[in-house]
Each structure stands twice: as structure tokens, then as C-alpha cells.
Amino acid sequence: MATIIDGKAVAAKVRQEAAQQVKTLKENGIKTGLAVIIVGDDPASRVYVNNKKKDCEEIGIYSEEYALPEDTSQEELMALVESLNQRSDISGILCQLPLPRHLNEKMVLDAISPLKDVDAFHPSNVGKIMIGDYDFLPCTPAGVMEMLKEYEIEIEGKTCVVIGRSNIVGKPMSMLLLHKNGTVTTCHSRTKDLPGVTRQADILVAAIGKAKFVTADMVKDGAVVVDVGMNRLDGKLCGDVDYEAVAPKASFITPVPGGVGPMTRAILMKNTVKAAKLQNAVT
């Protein structure tokens, strides 16, 4: 049976380190602040924003929430982002996605200062990740890497397969594994013989958003299985991996909930602290 990778425990460690750094910055007269923008009343977005607020309180990060109505215009949203860019007490800016359809997400994300882009979605931060010389990493892939490190799972020389090619998870996940000298294959909806590819994986990362998509016959014996999915099936939270079927074959596996989710939030806190340090030239 697989060793369960406890995301809650690793996240607690990351938050503790962030809290200590916030305290040190405060002692040196530097305020760490996060502004969260939410447009409309998407229930899932509201849950995420509330959780981020709790995390900030726990760590000592000053937080501001901007809950804007569904019919907010592009101009109003851009003006808010620009005003937050100018404020020295706001270290990080996060715009909760998805935005209502009439708003241009790309324009909004591109308007956030790269030094305050704690989600690492700005093109300049994406480019830095590509060349391996980055300030911020996207929260979910960075959280996965932190868990692999904590459990001393070797990446170098391993066959790594990532299912999913989104800009938020799949692509940066593949890049981070490559930076650690993994041999990486990125799979997607056009991949031929997907089970044949995934069965080669020493490290398999599922990030597609389809409940219990990865079945036992897709997993090699002894593989490390990381489940990034967050789905609801019959009212219950579950991942992209059929956990009960896959766990007996894997050497390590992340549960849902309690795996990657807590890490994503913890890395956001870590990125906000890093933003405060960068903006104040603190090493």
C-alpha cells in the first residue's frame, strides 16, 4: 500500500516558515499585504477567497478583499489593479478566476505588476519559469514540488508524466520537473494511447479535472501518483485519480482532500512574503 503524502502537514510547515518571515519583516518596519479581487458571486471562488483570508490572518499577513459586483466593467477592474500596483502596503495582488464572461482575463492578469503577481500568471513571470530563473512559481505546481522534496522523492533521471497542459498547472508542472532533471512527457486530450504512456511513469501527475479518470491499469507498480484534481462526484470531493484502486499499486500517493489543495494555499502565502521581500530589497 502506498505511503500517503500528507499535504496538510507539509503546508503547515510552509505556513510556519512564512509566519516567521512576516514577523521578521514587521520588526524591520515592512508590512506584508495581500489584496484579493473577486468579481461576481461564484460559490467556489467565494470559498477559496474566504480560505485565503483565514490563511493571511493565521500568518500575520495584512489582507484586503475587493468583492466587486458581477456587472463590473473592464475599465473599473483595470483601474483597481492599477491603484493596488501603486500601493507600498500591498505586496501581492490576486484576482480570483474565473472572471465573468464579459471581462478579459488576460488583460487583467497582464496589468498586475510582475513584482506583485503572487499567482505567477504574468507573461514575464511565465517566461522566467521557462528559463529557470524565477521570482515566483504558480502555487499548485510549486506545492507539488515542495511535497516531493519533503518526502525525499528523487526526480532526477525519473520518467515523469503530466496529464494536462493548462497554463496554470500542466505546463508549469512539466517545466519544474524538467528543471529537476526529470524526463517529462506532457499528455492531453490528443495524446494517443494515453494508458500506454502513463504506465511508463515513475512520477505521474494528474491535472485534468475529470473525476477518477486515472484508473489502476494506467499506473505502473511503485509509481508516485500526484492528484491535482478537485472534483465533486455524488456530492463528495474527489480527485482525478481513482484513489482506492490506484493506492495499492503506488509507492506514494496524494489524497483528495488533504493533498495538493492545502499546499496551493500555503505557497500563495510564501509567494506573498517573497513579494514583500523583493519590493523592499530584502534578501
Catalytic residue among 21, 55, 116, 119: 119
Q: Tell me if residue 96 is catalytic.
A: yes
User: Does residue 52 have an active-site annotation?
Assistant: yes
Indicate if 86 belongs to the active site.
no
Q: How many CB atoms lie within 10 A of CB 74?
A: 13
User: Which grid coordinates belong to 22?
Assistant: 512576516
Q: Which among 96, 202, 242, 270 is annotated as catalytic?
A: 96
Q: Which of 21, 52, 171, 240 is catalytic?
A: 52
Beta pairing, strands 33-39 & 92-95: parallel
Within 8 A by CB and 6+ apart from 9, the residues are none
Catalytic residues: 52, 96, 119
